[in-house]
A and B are shown apart, each in its own frame.
Chain A
Amino acid sequence: MTQASAPLLAARASQFDDTEQQRGASALGMWVFIATEVLFFGVLFAGYTIGRLRFPEAFAAGGRRTDLLLGSIETGILLSSSCLAALAVRDVQLGGRRSSPWLLLGTAALGAAFLVMHGFEYHSEYEEALIPGLRYHPSGDPPHAMAIFFCLYYFITGFHSLHVAIGVALLSRLAVKAWQGAFSPDYIAPVEVTALYWHLVDIVWIFVYPAVYLVGRSS
């Protein structure tokens, strides 16, 4: 709270000796959080791997029912958004004030676009009755095993989208604060750690994309 009211002097919270210590703590905190996140997603990927080993056919068939075009565009969007986030950090590091709000806003906008496109994907899958527990009447393929694929698909992408949504909210708030001139090379931690978080979201997707959209189409 103190950070918002008086940007430069009060940027240091009272438990820290100096801003350098605070910056180190923020960055390490985010890295530890990322380690936690890897384990969160790790369970889901482990479940996916086990399911795939047990039902290779059904998982491949399920993968072929996903929307490759949308998935690929989403991948492109997310990767470019991460680039914008990195540029925003660099801009603040170099003391720039003008472009960082726009770069942060751009990152958030691309994240939001990702969410919208994923919404379209979910909707068309609902139309095709591919959502286990809600509307599930797949034609042709072994239904039980493919349901496990779709269950994990929704859980993984849903959990990932939740992360994207949180990221969009954080980035939008940062964009506003950057516009107000809150950040400087001396006070960069919020931008840095949010960008780290955003890269994590991106990297998780780099694993989701081939596992869900590509592998089933390889043969």
Chain B
Amino acid sequence: MSSTDPGIAAPSYLTAGEPGLAGWLLTHDHKRIGILYAVGITFFFLLGGIAAAMIRINLIEPQGALMSAETYNKAFTFHGVVMVWFFLIPSIPATLGNFLLPLMIGARDVAFPRLNLFSWYLYVGGGLFTIGALLLGGVDTGWTFYTPFSTLFSNSHVVLAVVGVFVVGFSSILTGLNFIVTVHTMRATGMHWFRLPLFVWAMYATSLVMVLATPVLAMTLSLIALERLLGVGIFDPALGGDPLLFQHFFWFYSHPAVYIMVLPAMGVVSELITCGVRRQIFGYRFMAWSMLAIAVIGFMVWGHHMFVAGQSMYAGIVFSILSFVVAVPSAIKVFNWVATLYKGTIDFHAPMLYALGFIGLFMLGGLTGLFLAATALDVNLTDTYFVVAHFHYIMVGGAVMAYLGGIHFWWPKITGRLYPEGPARFAAILMFFGFNLTFFPQYLLGYFGMPRRYHAYPEPFQWLNVLSSAGASILALAYVMPLCYLGWSLVRGRAAGPNPWRATGLEWTVPSPPPKENFALPPVVSEGPYRYRP
């Protein structure tokens, strides 16, 4: 209908299709599935955030203000499991990726829409197991499930939590599979690989990691469940097993998992910066190749989590060198973003503030990663708050800032409404300050020797912990703000029009919100993605 008469707008994906709840829960539309994921991960972000708040409140007092040691263990385990697997891993790929990938490459949908919906149900199912483990009394192993504690000593609900993570792992594998096939086979006429927006490259690189790393985690966790249920010992030294083998398997997934979190963030930031400064990206091909390089080299650095675990010194040296190597493509990206900004006229709207915040925080997180990759220094810093601060700079400072930046940037496209710019800028700046106040003191705490995972600490560490907790409350406020004003804009926001940012991607050529079929006529592409001034 619409394809014969483009003048009459097709109904948007929000109104087309089956009405009511069933129209959402049984939808095959990648855009609706993206929204379903957004609802899911927001819920889990709140759950994980509550656990984080409990941790920070507890650490105000040296003796622990709130919880017993046991409850504290359960709180940080829940925080880690939920934030890693139910928020960060699906955050950008499953929400923005699902919504945008087909739009950006000029397709009607992903290659396997039914599988896409099934992935969401797996995500929800896995989440229910994990929440079940929490309701029954929690898990106290840490998100890493290290053996032999998880198999032999812990008397908490490890199996239930492990099943939850196993199931959500399949969701991530199937999403990755879907994206890889979609990028390979569904691109519009003329959309060559090097005309793809960098966000698509990021999704592609992320999907490779999802597909190739997650199975290792799934099998390793099943072996843990098996050990607990049947009392056999593949990892249990008392029964002849090898606990280091578990760590190797675990980090073979869990280090690349960091790139599942941060590669999509890099993709988002590349889109935000080019539009915010209205310039072509500096070194497009380097940006694309460096994403693939990060994905590939990221598979070869897992041993840097095990420098003090008892792996051989030579393995330690090799993993240390490779960890330095993986910093090179990451640095290429940072330099290219900065080069893109150089002498540009920067529009400091909220998405751009998030993107700039990302660059700063990612740099701090990345550089401290080099400290930790140096074996001699790592012996001192391992298992201290320095590590906690380092990975929160990457995961929260990096991935969450980029996620929120992306949500703001594409909000007009997703909802058809403009968000209020003033509160959004305020929240972005508040978040940057709150974040640094929360986590910068943790670098110092770690440097001074405060070990992680303890519910209590010596008196002299108190002032830094109080600073950190104060920062966390600011951070919490900054996270709640977008929920409020974005929610408000759903009802009261001004209509956005197809392209409020005057951006150049294919997704901005369709109405906001996009029609169910995305494009009235199949688009034909003849130029690169960033048609700004060079």
Q: A42 at interface (Cβ–Cβ under 8 A)? A: yes
Q: B475 at interface (Cβ–Cβ under 8 A)? A: no
Q: A147-B232, A151-B226 are in contact. List 10 more A-B contacts (CB 8 A).
A: A25-B185, A29-B111, A43-B249, A47-B234, A51-B234, A54-B240, A133-B230, A133-B232, A144-B233, A147-B239
A61 to chain B, nearest CB (A): 14
* CA distance in complex: A28, B232 (Å): 38
Q: Is the CB of A145 within 8 A of B113?
A: no
Q: A21 at interface (Cβ–Cβ under 8 A)? A: yes
Q: Is the CB of B177 within 8 A of A55?
A: no
Q: A33 at interface (Cβ–Cβ under 8 A)? A: yes
A125 to chain B, nearest CB (A): 14
* CA distance in complex: A133, B229 (Å): 8
Known: A35-B212, A145-B240. A15 touches B113 (CB 8 A): yes
Q: B324 at interface (Cβ–Cβ under 8 A)? A: no
Q: Is the CB of A15 within 8 A of B184?
A: no
Q: Output the residue of A17, A29, A50 with the most chain B CB within 10 A.
A: A29
Known: A17-B522, A32-B211. A43 touches B239 (CB 8 A): no
Q: Which of A29, A42, A132, A151 makes the CB contact (< 8 A) with B181?
A: A29
Q: Is the CB of B230 within 8 A of A47?
A: no
* Chain B residues within an 8 Å CB radius of A32: 176-177, 180-181, 211
Q: B173 at interface (Cβ–Cβ under 8 A)? A: yes
B319 to chain A, nearest CB (A): 17
* Chain B residues within an 8 Å CB radius of A37: 215
Known: A50-B242, A144-B240. A21 touches B185 (CB 8 A): yes
Q: Is the CB of B229 within 8 A of A28?
A: no
Q: Type the 1/0 row for B196-235, where 1 means its CB is closer than 8 Å to any CB of A.
A: 0000000000000001111110111011001001111110
Known: A28-B185, A40-B219, A133-B229. A35 touches B211 (CB 8 A): yes
Q: Type the 1/0 row for B76-117, where 1 means its CB is closer than 8 Å to any CB of A.
A: 000000000000000000000000000000011111110000
* CA distance in complex: A29, B111 (Å): 9
Q: Which of A36, A50, A51, A147 makes the CB contact (< 8 A) with B177?
A: A36
Known: A25-B185, A25-B186. A39 touches B231 (CB 8 A): no
Q: Output the residue of B108, B111, B239, B522 with the most chain A CB within 10 A.
A: B111
* CA distance in complex: A155, B222 (Å): 10
* Chain A to chain B: the 8 pairs with minimum beta-carbon distance, closest first: A133-B230, A43-B219, A15-B109, A39-B215, A40-B215, A144-B240, A25-B185, A151-B232
Known: A32-B211, A40-B218, A42-B216. A147 touches B233 (CB 8 A): yes
CB-nearest residue of chain A relative to B207?
Answer: A32
* CA distance in complex: A134, B229 (Å): 10
* Chain B residues within an 8 Å CB radius of A35: 211-212
Q: B241 at interface (Cβ–Cβ under 8 A)? A: yes
Known: A51-B234, A148-B233. A25 touches B111 (CB 8 A): yes
* CA distance in complex: A212, B109 (Å): 45
* CA distance in complex: A134, B242 (Å): 22
Q: A24 at interface (Cβ–Cβ under 8 A)? A: yes
Q: B136 at interface (Cβ–Cβ under 8 A)? A: no
* Chain A residues within an 8 Å CB radius of B220: 43
CB-nearest residue of chain B relative to A43?
Answer: B219
* CA distance in complex: A50, B244 (Å): 11
B210 to chain A, nearest CB (A): 9
Q: B245 at interface (Cβ–Cβ under 8 A)? A: yes
Known: A39-B215, A148-B234. A155 touches B108 (CB 8 A): no
Q: Type the 1/0 row for A132-165, where 1 means its CB is closer than 8 Å to any CB of B.
A: 1110000000001101100110010000000000
Sample of 28 A–B contacts (CB below 8 Å): A13-B113, A15-B186, A21-B186, A24-B184, A25-B181, A25-B182, A25-B184, A28-B184, A29-B178, A32-B177, A36-B177, A36-B215, A42-B215, A42-B216, A43-B215, A43-B223, A47-B245, A47-B249, A50-B242, A133-B226, A133-B231, A145-B240, A148-B234, A148-B240, A148-B241, A151-B232, A152-B234, A155-B223
CB-nearest residue of chain B relative to A20?
Answer: B185
Q: Is the CB of A39 within 8 A of B216?
A: yes
* Chain A residues within an 8 Å CB radius of B239: 144, 147-148
* Chain B residues within an 8 Å CB radius of A44: 219
B1 to chain A, nearest CB (A): 14
CB-nearest residue of chain A relative to B115?
Answer: A29
CB-nearest residue of chain A relative to B231?
Answer: A133
* Chain A residues within an 8 Å CB radius of B233: 144, 147-148, 151
